Amino acid sequence: MGQAPSLTVTAIVLMASLIAALTDLRKFKVHNVLTLPLLLSGLLYHSIVGGLSDAGWTAGFLNSLLGVLCGSGILLLFYLMGGMGAGDVKLMAGIGAWLGVQFTFYVFLASSLAAGFYAVVLVVGCGRVRETWVNLKIIWYRVAAIGRHLGAEDRIEAEVNRADRRRRIIPFAAMVAVGIIIVAVWFWLGVLSQPLVAGR
């Protein structure tokens, strides 16, 4: 298992995800003014912290870059299917730049579990089981025809502009904040075998 993120890295990622969660909960939007600096600063931070030698710089930058690819790559398919906005993808890319591949994957898993729980509460609480089943069929058809139908930002915009959007849309940035908290607590409790280390 790789080295756990430092408290500094954890605090930066948690703060950014909480800001994104607030804007996502209020306006269903994650702004570039947050995600792009998060991504670039993560790459820069790990390049510098990796060491001044060629090997250290390369290792730090490479792990950060792989985190970006992991964070954005995992969500790209969901974005292409119309299941989330581009801001969510960019947020996970920025988080990946700071956390690297391994911990970005942990955050994705925890965030997905939180989003799944949230979705079940919405579906059952709002009495939309049948509509959800129809939507799942539509998603399946989109996956089957993904080569013909790339990109669905228009569908996301239409959903965000609906009056009942709070009953229909999962604010994934908020779920990412929950995922980061869950992963941090797992490490703090020793569930994933290494506590968070101070400094770095």
Cβ-based burial of 149 (10 A; exposed 0-12, middle 13-18, buried ≥19): middle
Q: Which residue has the tokens 């985190």?
A: 67
Residue pLDDT, tens place only, 75-117 = 888 887 777 888 999 999 999 999 999 999 999 999 988 888 8
| Per-position pLDDT tens, the chain of length 200 | 456 788 899 999 999 999 999 999 898 899 999 999 999 999 999 988 876 555 556 788 898 999 999 999 988 888 877 778 889 999 999 999 999 999 999 999 999 888 888 878 877 776 666 666 666 666 555 555 554 445 455 566 666 556 665 566 777 888 899 999 988 888 777 755 544 444 44
CA atoms within 13 Å, Cβ hemisphere of 99? 30
Q: Of 157, 184, 32, nearest to 93 (Cα)?
A: 32
Q: How far apart are CA 35 and CA 117, in angstroms?
A: 25
User: What's this model's pTM, rounded to 2 decimal places?
Assistant: 0.74
Domain residue ranges in the chain: 7-184
User: Residue 2, SS3?
Assistant: coil
Tell me what pLDDT residue 195 has. Answer: 40
The span from the CA of 63 to the CA of 98, in Å, is: 9
Q: What pLDDT score does 147 carry?
A: 47
pLDDT tens across 187-200, in order? 777 755 544 444 44
Q: Tell me the C-alpha distance between 192 and 187, whole Å.
A: 6
